[in-house]
Amino acid sequence: MRQSPLVVVANRLPIDDNLAPDGAFEWRRSPGGLVSALHPLLRHTPAAWVGWAGGTGPAPHLPDVDGVRMHAVPLTGDDLRDHEEGFANATLWPLYHDAVEQPEYHRRWWEAYQRVNQRFAEAAAAAAEPDGLVWVQDYHLQLVPGLLRELRPDLRIGFFLHVSFPPPELFMQLPRRAELLRGMLGADLIGFQRAQAAHNFAQLAAQVLELPATDRRIGVGERVVRIGAFPISIDTAEMAALAARPDVTDRARRLRQDLGSPERVILSVDRMDYTKGIEQRLKAYRELLASGDVKVPDTVLVQVAVPSRNRVAHHQILRDRVEHQVGRINGEFGRVGEPAIHYLTQPFDRAELVALYRVADVMAVTPLRDGMNLVAKEYVAARVDDTGALLLSEFAGAAAELEQAYLVNPHDLDGLKQGLLAALRATPEDVAARMRAMREHLRRNDIQAWARSYLSALDASGSLLRRLTTT
Ligand code: ADQ
């Protein structure tokens, strides 16, 4: 196998299951945040990506995509059920998101998690050049740093957690908590979205493993593991350029007409997930319609909710509940040709998504808990004329940076309604001042800045990054 100086290890390869019409593989951009974030960084570097290619047969041999080598890790049906749908998405995902749904603990899921993490570690060990840099992504693979260090002590190993990391009181529920922490501590640098997450992790390392720990450094035998906040971002310039493209502005104009030329358009774009606060938001909107504070057709809501993780029971139940709510609200408050909610479950290409961002006078991003939330950042970057109000949950990582958003606690229904009304009724001057400040923040803190700051912290001597940029 050809080896690479930089290897990204993530649960999935960033390619579509389907081939493009010309037979080439395409980057899969949506609806996940991880690929959206890493795509601009890896394009045209001599990097490799280790991940699952979809399907349950033997791992396919894949061509390079945009110069990035693709190493497929095979998964069986049992692996998928017990590792991905089980331990990753029905144990860790709810536990890391405030247990808004009950995490489930099954010993068989843990065994699958270990087995699959071992397979990913072996694939990464085979793909990395001597003294190379391996960057492990997210909660599916928390044991990989430790396993990989045993196989390849020469490597620099980074781990980045895209989702939030819970406070000790919650994490302590996990039956295999010590092993999970030890797995992450195989890395040289552990990155989180927020400083609070790094703090939580340090407390757990001290409490569970009795290691000397501060919010920046943890001693593991002879080694020092650094930890810290590296808030992920977006390709701000690309987003702004797309938003200013004439075909996108034309499309936005037509969308507004198709929506009945309302005075105010509210938009929400989420993966269909119980952490995203969709039900709470719909309830707030319904109450505002019922009280007459918001009227159709002057105001309409566009709710985009792409189903994901369809095989996890919670997600199917959520979809049914959301669709019931949407149907009820449209039945009560819509008229023929004038629905109160335009509800879409399709993935869109980037131009269409950005046209939607450009139509939205208010963007409502109100997750109950979210590591970062890239949609909030994409919306801000797309508002190139400094219009548009962002309603943002305090519990999204993005709130730590986008302080000028209209911040709300999505558990507080009255607060959510007030926040929505404040955003709808804000003066153009207030909206512009807030948007300008947030856009400026994203101009300086874009995805390139994120990757640079993480990778240069990981590669302290700078030798690997130099090798990458000169290759
Ligand atoms: P996600 O939970 O997937 O990511 P988010 O950060 O909002 O959430 O990213 C979603 C991405 O999918 C965005 O780039 C968005 O544009 C895209 N998308 C959503 N709906 C779409 C649609 N209908 N069509 C096309 N594209 C769509 C996880 C964590 C987050 C963290 C990211 C990155 O849960 O907290 O921000 O990883 O670290």
181-191 per-residue burial string, b: 16 or more CB within 10 A, e: under 16: bbbbbbbbbbb
Distance from Cα 336 to the centre of ligand 1, integer Å: 33
Give nearest CA residue, ligand 1 atom 33. 33
373 lines ligand 1 (CB under 6 A): yes
pLDDT of residue 441: 98
34 lines ligand 1 (CB under 6 A): yes
Answer yes or no: is pLDDT of 51 > 80: yes
pLDDT of residue 57: 86
Average pLDDT for the chain: 92
Give nearest CA residue, ligand 1 atom 9. 33
Q: What is the tens place of the pLDDT at every residue in 415-455?
A: 999 999 999 999 999 999 999 999 999 999 998 899 889 99
360 lines ligand 1 (CB under 6 A): no
30 lines ligand 1 (CB under 6 A): yes
Distance from Cα 414 to the centre of ligand 1, integer Å: 27
Answer yes or no: is pLDDT of 162 > 50: yes
Answer yes or no: is pLDDT of 193 > 80: yes
CATH 3.40.50.2000: which residues of the chain?
Answer: 4-232+448-467, 236-444
Give nearest CA residue, ligand 1 atom 37. 33
Q: Which of 387, 371, 368, 370 is nearest to 439 (CA)?
A: 387
13 lines ligand 1 (CB under 6 A): no
Residue 317 CB neighbour total at 10 angstroms: 12
CATH of 4-232+448-467, one of 3.40.50.620, 3.60.9.10, 3.40.50.2000, 4.10.410.60: 3.40.50.2000
The answer to whether the complex's ipTM is over 0.95 is yes
Q: How far apart are CA 73 and CA 60, in angstroms?
A: 9
Q: What is the tens place of the pLDDT at every residue in 63-111?
A: 888 778 999 999 999 999 999 999 999 999 999 999 999 999 999 999 9
Give nearest CA residue, ligand 1 atom 35. 371
In this structure, are strands 406-408 and 389-393 parallel, antiparallel, or unpaired? parallel
Cα–Cα distances in angstroms (integers) from residue 126 to residues 48, 189, 319, in the given order: 11, 21, 41
Check 162, 314, 342, 441 and give the catalytic one. Answer: 162
Distance from Cα 153 to the centre of ligand 1, integer Å: 34
Answer yes or no: is pLDDT of 55 > 90: no
CATH topology of domain 236-444: Rossmann fold (3.40.50)
What is the residue type of 221? G
308 lines ligand 1 (CB under 6 A): no
pLDDT of residue 468: 59
Better pLDDT: 461 or 119: 119
Phi and psi angles of residue 338, each rounded to the nearest 5 degrees, phi first: -135, 70
pLDDT of residue 20: 45
Distance from Cα 34 to the centre of ligand 1, integer Å: 7
Q: What is the tens place of the pLDDT at every residue in 3-39?
A: 999 999 999 988 765 544 444 445 555 444 566 566 6
Mean pLDDT along residues 170-184 = 97
Distance from Cα 323 to the centre of ligand 1, integer Å: 21
Sheet (strand 406-408) strand order: 341-344, 299-307, 264-272, 362-365, 389-393, 406-408
Check 79, 270, 370, 446 and give the catalytic one. Answer: 370
Q: Which of 134, 21, 12 is nearest to 75 (CA)?
A: 12
370 annotated active-site? yes
Distance from Cα 222 to the centre of ligand 1, integer Å: 38
DSSP secondary structure letters along 229-277: E------HHHHHHHHHSHHHHHHHHHHHHHTT--SEEEEEEEEE-GGG-
Helices (H) and strands (E) in the chain, counts: 18, 14
